[in-house]
């Protein structure tokens, strides 16, 4: 049986508790240092199945600007980030784009949508 202790800073709330998690054979068996129960769940999720919200930009044709920021509607598994970014790289939208608009449904088969983070109006004549 292998035992390992990992230290993390909880990011669930602004307190930023210093967490100490004990893992046995890769499984979290205890978490200490959290001042609320959400900290223990954060440590469990981060050590066993880390996820991240992905933010990037995609191209826009006919928009006020040539790129529009996008993000995943929910965190995706950390190991799938490269696939999400590659899918976003292949997208080219046509203006106008509305904030919250789904850019790619179920991006890279993650079950999470890629959505626009801001609106992008059509460019006035003479621009882009």
Give tens-digit pLDDT for 40-73: 999 999 999 999 999 999 999 999 999 999 999 9
Structurally, how many domains does the chain consist of? 2
Asked whether residue 21 is domain-assigned, the answer is: yes
Both 12 and 39 in one domain: the answer is yes
Assign 26 a pLDDT band (cuts: 50, 70, 90). Answer: confident
Asked whether residue 123 is domain-assigned, the answer is: no
Both 37 and 88 in one domain: the answer is no
- The pairing of beta strand 55-61 with beta strand 18-24: unpaired
Assign 126 a pLDDT band (cuts: 50, 70, 90). Answer: low
Say what the pLDDT of residue 127 is. Answer: 53
Asked whether residue 128 is domain-assigned, the answer is: no
Quickly count: other Cβ atoms within 10 Å of residue 23's Cβ: 17
Examine the pLDDT at 128 and tell me if it is beyond 80. Answer: no
User: Whole-model pTM?
Assistant: 0.82
Say what the pLDDT of residue 59 is. Answer: 98
Asked whether residue 100 is domain-assigned, the answer is: yes
Show the CA angle centred on residue 84, arms to residues 79 and 87, nearest 5°: 145
Asked whether residue 76 is domain-assigned, the answer is: yes
Asked whether residue 122 is domain-assigned, the answer is: no
Both 29 and 65 in one domain: the answer is no
Contact 59, 66 (CB under 8 A): yes
Domain interval for residue 96: 55-116
Asked whether residue 108 is domain-assigned, the answer is: yes
Both 71 and 112 in one domain: the answer is yes
Q: Supply φ then ψ for residue 111, to 5 degrees.
A: 85, 5
Both 61 and 45 in one domain: the answer is no
Which candidate, 10, 91, 17, 81, places its Cα nearest to that of 58? 91
């Amino acid at each position: 049986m292998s035992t390992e202790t990992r230290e993390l800073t909880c990011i669930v709330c602004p307190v930023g508790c210093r967490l100490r998690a004990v893992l046995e054979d890769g499984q979290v068996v205890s978490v200490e240092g959290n001042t609320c129960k959400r900290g223990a769940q954060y440590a469990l999720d981060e050590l066993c199945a880390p996820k991240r919200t992905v933010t990037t930009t995609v191209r826009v044709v006919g928009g006020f600007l040539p790129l529009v920021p996008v993000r995943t509607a929910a965190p995706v598994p950390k190991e799938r980030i490269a696939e999400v970014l590659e899918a976003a790289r292949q997208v080219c939208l046509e203006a106008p784009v509305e904030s919250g608009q789904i850019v790619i449904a179920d991006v890279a088969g993650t079950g999470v949508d890629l959505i626009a983070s801001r609106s992008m109006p059509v460019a006035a004549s003479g621009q882009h």
